[in-house]
Each structure stands twice: as structure tokens, then as C-alpha cells.
């Protein structure tokens, strides 16, 4: 019990100080359909194990008899510590790339929907802001190679979802490039974004469960 307590205390301190906030940049599809057939995406931060409120909670008093001075990091499970270290390295690599993802989606939702009045503006946004930023994001995450099998599997799902979203953005660019808006192209774009977004939501849920192994049981 003492060993488990020390492990959870150390890893909790380490993890809550990391950059693992992937859910902040996830834009999940909702059922709010706009007049032109597009859907909105939820820009609210998804629930995660590291909410701001949880970090502001007052420290919980620990009975001094729970562990003694002989307990140290060296006594922790080496495999779990190594896995946590790999995860922290992964989160540090992902953190700066998520800013590109956020910029792309923010530009995508500058207008609620597309019509002939704002079509040129949408084309400029997708060409100059959305696609360049999302391309940087996708290129960056493809270069990340997690070594832990479970983390690598989740990351592969993230790449697959992001790739589909990139394809959706390219179709959207095609949609707004023509004077006559073709709803068939828009539908294909939305379908790509929808499937890709669902994969990223799956990633978020799997990541939340993965992180829980490093935290104290509630």
C-alpha cells in the first residue's frame, strides 16, 4: 500500500504538470445543421482528467503514517514510471502542434455558413489559413513515433482521423472555389469531417482511460 501511494503521488504530480490537454483542441461534430447543410462543431473543452478546477482544488492532507522516509522514486514500479515518462514526452511533442489544429478550425467557423456573398472570403480562409495550418498539424503528428504499443495505437487513430479531416478541408476548398456552389461536394466534405471527428473523439476517450492508470483511484 505504501508503494502504491508513493507511485500515485509522484505520477499525479508529474502528470498534472504536463501539457496533456489534447481534448482542448478537439472539435466534435454535433447535430446542429446549418441552412446550407453544414454542421457546427462543439468548441467547448471536453471533460478531461486535468480540468482547471481540479488543479485548483486544495491539497488533501496525507496521514504521516501512510508512508515513511524510506519510500522514494527508486522504489516505484520501473515499467510504469518508464511508460509515464514516454507519455509525457509524447504530450510535449503534441502540445505545440495542437495550436495549428486550433487555428484551422477557428478559421473554418469564422462564418456560420457559406453563400454567394461570403464565398470568396471562405475560399481565402481555407486556402490561406485552414489548409496551411492543418497541413502543418498533420505533417507534425505524422513525425511523432510513440514507442509504447498502446500509445502508438491511439496515435495511429489520431493520424487517421486528422487525415480524413484534411481531406474534408480540401473538398471544402473545392466547394467554395466555384461560383456555383455544388452541394454534393459539400456533403462529401462534411462526411469526411464527420468520420474524422468521430475518430478523434474515440482517441480522446481512449486517452482519458489511458491516463487514469497513472492516477490515484477515486
Confidence band, pLDDT 50/70/90 cuts, at residue 215 = confident
DSSP 8-state symbol, 28: E
Domain assignment present for residue 18? The answer is: yes
CA torsion angle 48 131 166 50 (round to 10): -10
Task: Evaluate whether residue 217 is within a structural domain.
Answer: no
pLDDT digits over 66-90, tens only? 544 444 555 667 778 888 889 999 9
- Taking residues 48-67, report their average pLDDT: 47
> Whole-angstrom Cα distance, residue 77 to residue 63?
23
Maximum average pLDDT range among 53-57, 58-62, 175-179: 175-179
Residue 82 has which C-alpha cell? 518508464
In a domain, 58, yes or no: yes
Q: Residue for cell digits 491516463?
A: 211
- Say if 218 falls within a structural domain: no
Please give the pLDDT value at position 178.
92
Contact between residue 165 and residue 197 where contact means Cβ atoms under 8 Å apart: yes
Cβ neighbour number for residue 33 with a 10 Å cutoff? 12
Residue 137's pLDDT band (cuts 50, 70, 90): very high
Which pLDDT does position 112 carry in this prediction?
82
For 143-202, write each residue's pLDDT tens digit.
999 999 999 999 999 999 999 999 999 999 999 999 999 999 999 999 999 999 999 999
Q: How confident is the model at residue 213 (pLDDT cuts 50, 70, 90)?
A: confident
Whether 6 is in a domain gets the answer: yes
Host H or E run for residue 7: helix 2-16
Domain boundaries, position 125: 2-67+76-212
Q: Is the pLDDT of residue 126 over 70?
A: yes
CA dihedral 109, 111, 116, 119 (to 10 degrees): -50
- Is residue 53 a part of any domain in this protein? yes
Cell numbers 505533417 correspond to 139
Q: Which helix (H) or strand (E) covers residue 217, if one does?
A: none
* C-alpha–C-alpha distance, residues 130 and 108, integer Å: 7
**DSSP states of 78-99:** HHHHHHHHHHHHHHHHHHHHHH
Q: Which residue would you say has higher pLDDT here, 215 or 12?
A: 215
The pLDDT confidence band at residue 25, using thresholds 50, 70 and 90, is very low
Q: Is residue 105 part of a domain?
A: yes
User: Is pTM beyond 0.75 here?
Assistant: no
Number of domains in the chain: 1
User: Is residue 200 situated within a structural domain?
Assistant: yes
Of 47, 68, 55, 43, nearest to 17 (Cα)? 55
Amino acid at each position: 500500500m505504501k508503494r502504491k501511494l508513493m507511485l500515485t503521488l509522484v505520477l499525479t504530480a508529474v502528470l498534472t504538470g504536463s501539457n496533456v490537454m489534447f481534448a482542448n483542441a478537439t472539435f466534435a461534430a454535433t447535430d446542429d445543421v446549418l441552412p446550407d447543410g453544414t454542421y457546427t462543431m462543439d468548441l467547448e473543452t471536453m471533460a478531461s482528467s486535468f480540468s482547471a478546477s481540479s488543479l485548483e482544488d486544495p491539497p488533501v492532507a496525507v496521514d504521516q503514517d501512510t508512508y515513511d522516509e524510506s519510500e522514494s522514486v527508486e522504489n516505484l514500479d520501473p515499467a510504469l514510471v518508464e511508460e509515464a515518462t514516454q507519455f509525457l514526452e509524447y504530450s510535449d511533442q503534441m502540445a505545440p502542434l495542437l495550436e495549428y489544429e486550433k487555428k484551422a478550425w477557428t478559421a473554418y467557423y469564422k462564418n456560420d455558413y457559406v453563400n454567394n456573398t461570403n464565398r470568396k472570403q471562405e475560399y481565402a480562409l481555407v486556402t490561406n489559413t485552414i489548409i496551411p495550418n492543418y497541413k502543418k498539424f498533420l505533417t507534425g503528428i505524422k513525425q511523432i513515433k510513440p514507442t509504447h504499443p498502446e500509445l502508438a495505437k491511439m496515435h495511429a487513430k489520431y493520424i487517421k482521423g486528422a487525415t480524413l479531416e484534411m481531406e474534408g478541408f480540401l473538398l471544402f476548398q473545392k466547394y467554395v472555389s466555384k461560383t456555383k456552389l455544388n452541394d454534393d461536394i459539400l456533403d462529401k466534405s462534411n462526411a469526411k469531417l464527420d468520420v474524422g471527428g468521430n475518430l478523434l473523439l474515440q482517441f480522446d476517450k481512449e486517452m482519458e482511460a489511458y491516463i487514469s492508470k497513472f492516477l490515484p483511484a477515486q
